[in-house]
Structures are given as structure tokens and as C-alpha cells.
Amino acid sequence: MLRHSIAPSRDYLKAPHAIVRHSRLNNDAKMLLLYVLGLPESRCGKPLGEHAARLGIKPRAYQKAKALLVECGFLLERKWQNERGRWVTEQTVTNDAAGLPSTHFPAVGDSTDRVAGDSPTEEEEQGKNASHPPPEDEPLAALGGVLAEAERVLLSLRNVNLGLHLGVREARSLVEMAGEWLRRGVSPAELRRVLSTGLPVSGVRSVVGFLRHRLVRKMPEMPPVGRPRETAPPPDSVRGALVLCAGPGDDHMFRPRPGETECGECRRAAAAEGAVPDLRGALGTGTLGTVHTPWRERVPTGGAGSA
């Protein structure tokens, strides 16, 4: 804070009638102004608000007194940027409103626009700087199948618990893991129950982090692999349509396998008739060998010989 006043002689302050008899300044404004004007140089670096607090002036009363001092010309506030780019407010108090220093030195010629470097006015501060507008978000592509169902489950968690409110883009970051749950046989209702129950007592700080941790930690196991499908029967086991048997006897039908012309009974009968002549021929030629005699026939014969 800077000060513009006449230096006192010693330990007292000369208060002009312009301050003491001012009709628009209230008691708080006059007392604050005279107090600051009588301060030594070592205590002039503090802002005006700290001096008001030292005098016991309440914040609301200080704001009113400060507005009166600014309006009557005894207080000037100037904002400027320092070398680090920060805005600094400089307060100047005077005992002569007419002798208050101006903000800028007068320039030659007609008046122009405001000088660069001043603080923006209130009208300028209300507007928005559109020189670098934020980039627009790209529209999200529509999902389908399991991923669409997983996204609906994630967005419906806000209806179960307000602490699990997710945005559309936040849900898209978790939709792959949630879709894996559905691929492993978990129903949407069960997935919603797992994600919305057992919440921390202190609340969920990061909804995305909490749901990602739960989706990873409680991921169900892969379902067991199903039994292989039964293979088709071999081509030779496939039976065709009913055909007429080529064997002897009455005409009858059967379902042949590939390469068959007679039914099973005719083939077995033909095989039995073909085996009997072969056996008779072997017995006649002696190639069959010794005929095996049953033990019931051999026992009486052996007993008669021994007697």
C-alpha cells in the first residue's frame, strides 16, 4: 500500500477539514483513513483490510467504508501484473482527494483505447475467451450384442446407488470387462448385483477405479467345455430303403447295407448249408483227426475194461 499525504511534525496527525467534516464518509471510514495516514513508514506495507481488523472494524463494515473512500477519492486501487505474471493490487491512500496521483501519465494527442497491461474491466471479464475453444468430443459409435447389454448394466448402476453414477465415456472404458462377464455365463441382473453390493462405508471416491477393480478381482471362471458332438455313423452302417431279398424261399423285403443282396437269415442259412458238406468231406478223408468222445461215454467204457 502506498500513501500520499503531508508528513506530520511529531507524534500527531494534522487532519484536514475535508476529512473530518466530510458529509458522506461514516465514522468507520474516517477513523480508518486517519489511522492509516498516521502510520509510520515501516507499517505501510500491509493491506488496508488488516488495518481495519486491527481497529476492530467488522468485514461488512470495512467493505462499506472502503467503498465510501474509493467513491470520495481518498482511496485508489490499481491492479498490475508483476514479472511472474501474477496480478498485484496496489492501494494508495491520501488526505487530499484532488491531489491523488493519476493512473497513467498523460500522452500526447487524442485519447485512444486502454493501455496494454491494465487489468481487464468487469465487462471484459464477463465474456469468454474463444480464441482457443475446447475441442469437441467425437460421437461414440453404437455398440451391439454383449457389449451393448454390458453398457446398459453399467449405466443402470446409478438407479441402484447414486454413488455409482457413470458417464457414457466412463462406461465405455469398462464395457469390455463387463462384456467378458456376460460371455462367461453371468446374467445382467447378477452382474448388476455384484457391482452394486458391498460398497465401502466411507463411500466410493473413484467410481471408474472401484468398478474396474471389482470387475477384475471377481471375474468368474471360464465355463467348462461341452462334450463333443456325436460323430455321424460310418457310411457302411447306413441302411437304405426296403428291397427284395434274392435268397431262396418266399419273397420278402429287408433293408440292405451297401453291397448286400440277401437278408441276414438267408445268408446265415446259406453259410450253415455250406459248412455241413465240408465237415462230411473232412470226416471221409480223415483230415479232421481224432474225434473227441464226451466224458459221459468214456467213463462207463473205462470202468468195464478194468473189471
Does 6 lie in the same domain as 94? Answer: yes
**140 inside domain:** no
Does 262 lie in the same domain as 191? Answer: no
pLDDT tens string, the chain, 307 residues long: the values are 777 776 656 667 778 888 888 888 899 999 998 888 888 888 888 888 899 999 999 999 999 999 999 888 888 888 888 888 888 888 888 888 765 555 555 556 666 666 566 666 655 555 556 566 667 767 777 777 888 888 888 889 888 888 888 888 888 888 898 888 888 888 989 988 888 888 888 888 888 899 999 898 888 888 776 555 555 555 555 556 788 888 887 888 888 888 888 888 888 888 887 765 555 555 555 554 555 666 666 665 545 444 4
**252 inside domain:** yes
**300 inside domain:** no
Domain boundary among 82, 100, 118: 100
CB distance 122 to 160 below 8 Å: no
CB distance 57 to 35 below 8 Å: no
Provide the domain count of the chain.
3
Does 90 lie in the same domain as 10? Answer: yes
Does 96 lie in the same domain as 6? Answer: yes
d(CA 69, CA 71) in angstroms, rounded, equals: 5
Does 93 lie in the same domain as 14? Answer: yes
Pairing of strands 2-4, 243-244: unpaired
CB distance 267 to 274 below 8 Å: no
φ, ψ (nearest 5 deg) of residue 90:
-110, 125
Rg of the Cα atoms in the chain: 56
**23 inside domain:** yes
CATH no. for residue 44? 1.10.10.10
CB distance 124 to 44 below 8 Å: no
Does 252 lie in the same domain as 211? Answer: no
Q: What is the pLDDT of residue 275?
A: 61
Q: Is 145 left (phi over 0), alpha (psi -120 to 50) or beta?
A: left
Does 276 lie in the same domain as 199? Answer: no
Residue in 41, 35, 120, 122 with CA at minimum distance from that of residue 74: 35
| Distance set, CA 94 to CA 45, 52, 97, 161 (Å) | 15, 16, 7, 61
Does 21 lie in the same domain as 83? Answer: yes
Q: Is the pTM of this model over 0.85?
A: no
d(CA 288, CA 294) in angstroms, rounded, equals: 17
**230 inside domain:** no
Residue in 90, 92, 109 with CA at minimum distance from that of residue 101: 92
List the Cα angle 158/196/190 in 5-degree steps: 110
**15 inside domain:** yes
**130 inside domain:** no
Does 210 lie in the same domain as 247? Answer: no
The domain of 191 spans 146-217
**223 inside domain:** no
Residue matched to cell numbers 474463444: 130
CB distance 237 to 257 below 8 Å: yes
CB distance 171 to 151 below 8 Å: yes
Does 73 lie in the same domain as 11? Answer: yes
d(CA 212, CA 233) in angstroms, rounded, equals: 50
User: Cell digits for 218?
Assistant: 471377481
**Cα dihedral 66, 70, 71, 72 in deg (nearest 10):** 100
